Amino acid sequence: TAKKVGGHGGMDYIMDYRLIYCLRNGLPLDMDVYDLAEWL
């Protein structure tokens, strides 16, 4: 489980949910390609 291996307190789920929500509803994404490159 996430508690055993560290996890991020559920933030991964929230960010994924927001991404899918924006894509489904035609909203602009919270992150652009430059932000994404910094995260990788």
The CA–CA distances, whole Å, from 6 to 2, 9, 10, 40 equal 6, 8, 11, 19
pLDDT at 37: 84
Q: Where do the domains of the chain lie?
A: 2-39
CA angle 4, 40, 36 (to 5 degrees): 115
Contact 10, 17 (CB under 8 A): no
pLDDT at 5: 57
Tokens of 36: 């994404």
Q: pLDDT tens across 1-40, in order?
A: 455 655 666 777 888 898 899 999 999 988 888 887 887 7
pLDDT at 34: 87
